[in-house]
Structure 1
Amino acid sequence: MNPNEEQYLKLASYVLHHGHKKADRTGTGTISTFGYQMRFDLSKGFPLLTTKFVPFRLIKSELLWFIHGGTNIRYLLQRNNHIWVEWPFKRYVESDAYQGPDMTNFEKRRLTDPDFRKVYLHQKHLFCRRIIDDKAFAKKWGTLGNVYGAQWRHWQKRNGGQIDQLKWVINKVRKTPFSRRMIVSAWNPEDVPSMALPPCHTLWQLYVNDGKLSCQLYQRSGDIFLGVPFNIASYALLTSLIAKECGLKPGYFIHDLGDAHIYLNHISQIREQLNRKPYKAPTLWLNPKKRSIFDYDMDDIKIENYHHHSKIRGAVAI
């Protein structure tokens, strides 16, 4: 029995059977519904999906990147995390600085042309290697704009100052846990045009009751097969980290989705996943010696007793 995973599987099934076909920015096409809520009781295990393998190391390295205010993929690549590479790579190969083989429309060509896919993977490998090895190149081509890390830690004020929203909200949990204003926003309209990908998880709110910390997320756009499993685990981890720092227990993670969609090239994968029986939920281990959310490193966060089905692969829509 895994009641938390059932929340996700019900979402996938609902959109698969009741969603409507809708065009999208990537040109892939989706089955979509508007407005859906899931509730995950964090006392019933950590909500990392078991009906397919979900690489937790990518989730925790990405979240630590957000927490530290990162906006450049160099930090991620140094930790073998490639989940944000496609957007800066696209910007690079479409620029005059790129002198390699033609990468026009690589998003679609890589899926249909095996010979081109080899060329694409090689060029992306060279790009990633150079991001890691060349600081100047990374500074120019590895940046994503003022994405999550910048908004959470360095929100720009009109007077030229900054707001550290993450430190602020943790302080509110400590000093005024009854507050209804414990909100962190990643959606900054002024910065949206310059971001590689405008924030999908746009706003989250904390709530304290009975010695427990809960978090509610509003996500404007949710890729149910690839993105949403990461988002669920990431915000469950964030909630757990803040709860520990503030001397609370994790309560609920509540996930509100705006446009919840399955890409048309993920339909068979979702069907396969829905035919699998969930395992018991794993548990989260946090280094008891670490007090502040800002002090954690990769080895301080672990998943234990993670039993899962095999990977199910699917291409990311860019």
Structure 2
Amino acid sequence: MSKADEIFVAMCDDIIKNGTTTEGQKVRPHWEDGTSAYTIKRFGVCNRYDLREEFPALTLRRTALKSCMDEVLWIYQRKSNNIHDLHSHIWDEWADETGSIGKAYGYQVAQRSHYPEGDFDQMDRVLWQLEHEPYSRRIMTNLYNFHDLSEMHLYPCAFNAIYNVTRAPGDERPTLNLLLVQRSQDVLAANNWNVCQYALLLMMVAQVEGMVAGELVHMIADAHIYDRHVDVVRELIERPQYPAPKVSLNPEVTDFYDFTTDDLVVEDYQHGPQVKNIPIAI
């Protein structure tokens, strides 16, 4: 069965049984009807996924992998903060009349900084370092810029991606690993979406650098289930589980900026029915 399912079920079960509630406290999120959106939460959740074993897509329900890839390309490849450059509607709630989400996500990736080797934006710096100094411990992107927070329509949730290269004796190629740090996560709506996004990002970067995609480590500071999601989650984690799907990329792509969602290949994806009309706290 899918290891991503096992991890998700264990995490949700732990949050429901052992988490603390924000009910009755002053909270920012609210439901569409104006009611405060309370959560059950766990602090400091850490999950590990080894892409050498399988791709971490849930089978309890379907995760839209092409849409996941499109959003991660929107941020790190197209470096956009405008929903008109995105094919899904997940950011519509936070966009202004021009489609902008403010100085968030792709805007931050696109910011250039000066280095001894020249000027780079955040993603180009990652790619340069992996090519020229792959064993550096300083290869990362960081979207949480305090100076620009007041001009972001939503503070970044998954904000820090740290790349790390390992090579065990006998390995034909180096292994690229990725640590994702997330300050806050709506577990039902976003957990596997974020996991699959960054798994795909890891696969793309590893491929163009001639490396093997290894471990994705996902650290969540505040992993929470909203009050109106608890019963849905209870039902979801009791569902049958299936083997993980086979997920690969077009091997002919050798430049990160050439990837499109057409280069994603998904095979044998068995899954349960989709959970529809999930209320989203804003």
TM-score (norm 1): 0.79
Q: 1: CA distance between counterparts of 2:211 and 2:159?
A: 25
Distance of 1:62 and 1:16 partners within structure 2: 29
Among residues 103, 124, 138, which one is paired with 1:181 in the alignment? Answer: 138
Q: Which runs of 5+ in 1 are unaligned?
A: 92-139
Aligned to 1:20: 20
Deviation at 1:48, TM superposition (A): 1.2
Q: Which has the larger radius of gyration?
A: 1
1:201 partnered with 2:164: no
Aligned alpha-carbon RMSD (Å): 1.6
1:4 and 1:44 in contact (8 A); partners too: no
Query: 1:70 maps to what in 2?
Result: 80
- Give the TM-score normalised by structure 2: 0.89
CA distance in 1, matches of 2:108, 2:120: 8
Pair 1:57 & 2:66 matched: yes
Separation in structure 1 between the aligned mates of residue 65 and residue 196 of structure 2, nearest angstrom: 8
Matched, 1:284 2:239: no
Moved more, 270-279 or 213-222: 270-279
Q: Secondary structure at the match of 1:172?
A: helix
Higher share of residues assigned helix: 1
Q: Which SS does the other structure have where 2:146 is aligned? A: coil
Aligned counterpart in structure 1 of residue 93 of structure 2, from 77, 86, 99:
86
CA 235–8 in structure 1, closer or farther in 2 if over 3 Å, else same? same
Amino acid in the other structure paired with 2:127 = I
Give the Cα–Cα distance (whole angstroms) in 2 for the partners of residues 305 and 38 of structure 1: 24
Report deviation, 1:57: 2.3
After TM superposition, list the pairs within 5 Å mapping 1:25-174 onto structure 2: 25-26=28-29, 27-66=36-75, 67-76=77-86, 79=87, 81-88=88-95, 140-155=97-112, 163-174=120-131
Identity %: 32
Q: 1:315 aligns with which of 259, 279, 282?
A: 279
Tell me the distance in 1 between the aligned counterparts of 2:10 and 2:112. Answer: 36
Instruction: Determine if contact 2:2/2:59 at 8 Å carries over to the other structure.
Output: no
For residue 3 of structure 2, what is the aligned residue in structure 1? 3
Separation of aligned partners in 2, 1:163 and 1:25: 36
Give, in whole Å, the separation in 1 of the partners of 2:248 and 2:51: 13
**Runs (4+) of structure 1 moved beyond 4 Å?**
none
Structure 2 unmatched runs, 5+: 30-35, 168-173
Partner amino acid, structure 1, of 2:93: E
Amino acid at match of 1:82: H
CA distance, structure 2, for counterparts of residue 61 and residue 197 of structure 1: 19
